[in-house]
Amino acid sequence: MALVNENYLKLPGNYLFAEIARRVSQFKNNNPDADIIRLGIGDVTRPLPAAVIEAMKKGVEEMSREETFRGYGPEQGYSFLIEKIIENDFRPRGVELAGDEVFVSDGAKSDTANFQEILGSGNVVAVTDPVYPVYVDSNVMAGRTGSTDGGRFEGIVYLPCTEENGMKPSLPDKRVDMLYLCFPNNPTGMTLSKEELKKWVDYARENRTVILYDAAYEAYIREDGVPHSIYEVEGAKEVAVEFRSFSKTAGFTGTRCAYTVVPRDVKVYDSTGKAHSLNPLWLRRQTTKFNGVSYPVQAAAAGVFTEEGKRQVRELVDYYMENAGIIREGLTAAGYRLYGGVNAPYIWMKTPGSMGSWEFFDKLMKEAHVIGTPGAGFGASGEGYFRLTAFGSRENTLRAVERIKSRM
């Protein structure tokens, strides 16, 4: 008799975005003429930059000739891409990394979900609340939690981000072993200054905590003083792993390419207290379970770092940030209380009155035909909030704001 991994039975029925898709498709079936505007899942809508397409085509072309054909690549990623990543994303910010500290992958979602696997099953995990559900769900699957009361899992330390603390979490009041931070934050769109982030790095150094830092939205930072990488903070290379993605930066949600930085100095401990570097453990995991990102896709990702590519990516990000501004201005003028959207493509709004977030989701879908993401889907502290993304087309963003103003 094959037994089930009972940890899976603790999870709510559907993954958040799958549940939203299910509700939208049901509504669409019942209302085939409804002109639905989707500002729910953070999925980009602009085409890939021309420099990326050109690099991808060249990569495909190379695969068609015997002299340039490539079979299995290095599981960790091709050095031509890793070198560009270090040279462009880190060195200008004063961060030096070795090539073997960067691991190219097919997505920050999979990396943030998989990384917990090389950490002890008895570790205490802390997350901000609201939080990107992947961090929690992957730890539930791994058995690091008890059951849920519907909003929170037993055994996880939740760090609330509320209006009272300006959506910025406080340090845990107990020792935690694994700490997930995402800045610019998904879903609140908020950021931490370098001084604020330093407190977390100091906490981790004092407590031998590993910080799992998701910086997938760093390209959206507009303000000075907001770190793009946790490694801009002194000491972070001893305690933090950083997840980055080409998805939101360069439109790769459907193309799939990301990378994770695992500095050699980040240590974890065995039961005798002996220290082990995380870097070779992640390499061991990846070389066993992952065969790398396809050559044309890595070639396309390298296209992001050409002069043309950098300019086109900036334009892409500017486009979405203009959408963020349109949502912020329009809804603020209509009386909504909003967070985010300044250094991030997400706008976190308080639902009107005391409406629950799923109730607001249904109402907005039915009356305005606009889809967002209910805050409660990101955790208990998200109840009473709603997330809109700036990743729609300009036209749809303008129409969605008008509909929310006039129909809600």
Count of residues interacting with ligand MLT (CB under 6 A): 6
Closer to ligand MLT by CB, 328 or 387: give it. Answer: 387
Nearest C-alpha neighbor of 259 from the set 296, 302, 227: 302
Residue closer to ligand MLT, measured from CB, 229 or 247: 247
Q: Would the CA dihedral through 258, 263, 266, 271 be positive or negative?
A: positive
Instruction: Return all residues near 192 (Cβ < 8 A) that are at least 6 apart.
Output: 168, 183, 200, 226, 227
- Which residue among 42, 49, 251, 379 contacts ligand MLT (CB under 6 A)? 42
Q: Smallest gap, in angstroms, from Cβ of residue 19 to ligand MLT? A: 13
Q: How far is the CB of 14 from ligand MLT (least distance, A)?
A: 14
What are 178's two structure tokens? 């694994």
Alpha carbon 160 to its chain's center:
18
The stretch among 5-13, 35-43, 53-61, 121-129 that binds ligand MLT (CB under 6 A) is 35-43
Question: Which lies closer to ligand MLT via its Cβ, residue 106 or residue 177?
Answer: 106
What residue type is assigned to position 370 of the chain?
A: V
Rounded (10°) CA dihedral 170, 131, 321, 42: 180
Contact between 186 and ligand MLT (CB under 6 A)? yes
109 lies in the binding site for ligand MLT (CB under 6 A): yes
Q: Which of 11, 21, 36, 41 contacts ligand MLT by CB under 6 A?
A: 41
Smallest gap, in angstroms, from Cβ of residue 379 to ligand MLT? Answer: 13
Rounded distance between C-alpha atoms, residue 138 and residue 122, angstroms:
14
Q: Which is nearer to ligand MLT, 109 or 369 (CB)?
A: 109
Name the minimum Å distance from CB 124 to ligand MLT: 25
Footprint of ligand MLT on 116-175 (CB under 6 A): 132
255 near ligand MLT, rule: CB under 6 A: no
Nearer to ligand MLT, 42 or 340 (CB): 42
Q: How far is the CB of 328 from ligand MLT (least distance, A)?
A: 18
Stretch that binds ligand MLT, among 37-45, 159-167, 311-319, 395-403 (CB under 6 A): 37-45
189 touches ligand MLT (CB under 6 A): no
* CB atoms near residue 352 (< 10 Å): 14
Q: Closest CB to ligand MLT among 42 and 49?
A: 42
Whichever of 186 and 229 has its CB closer to ligand MLT, that residue is 186
Residue of minimal Cβ distance to ligand MLT: 42
List the one residue out of 359, 325, 363 whose CA is nearest residue 344: 325
Residues facing 348 on adjacent strands: 339, 387
Tell me the window of 40-48, 59-67, 141-149, 195-203 that interacts with ligand MLT (CB under 6 A): 40-48
How near is the Cβ of 96 to ligand MLT at its closest, in Å?
A: 28
Least distance in Å: CB of 42 to ligand MLT?
3
Nearer CB in complex with ligand MLT: 147/393? 393
Residue 205's identity, in one-letter code, is: R
Q: How far is the CB of 168 from ligand MLT (least distance, A)?
A: 19
Please choose, out of 36-44, 113-121, 224-232, 335-343, the segment that lies near ligand MLT by the rule CB under 6 A: 36-44
Q: Answer positive or negative: Cα dihedral of 10, 12, 16, 17.
A: positive
Of 295 and 360, CB closest to ligand MLT? 360
Round to whole Å and give the CA distance between 158 and 166.
16
Q: Which is nearer to ligand MLT, 132 or 385 (CB)?
A: 132
Residues contributing to the site for ligand MLT (CB under 6 A): 41-43, 109, 132, 186
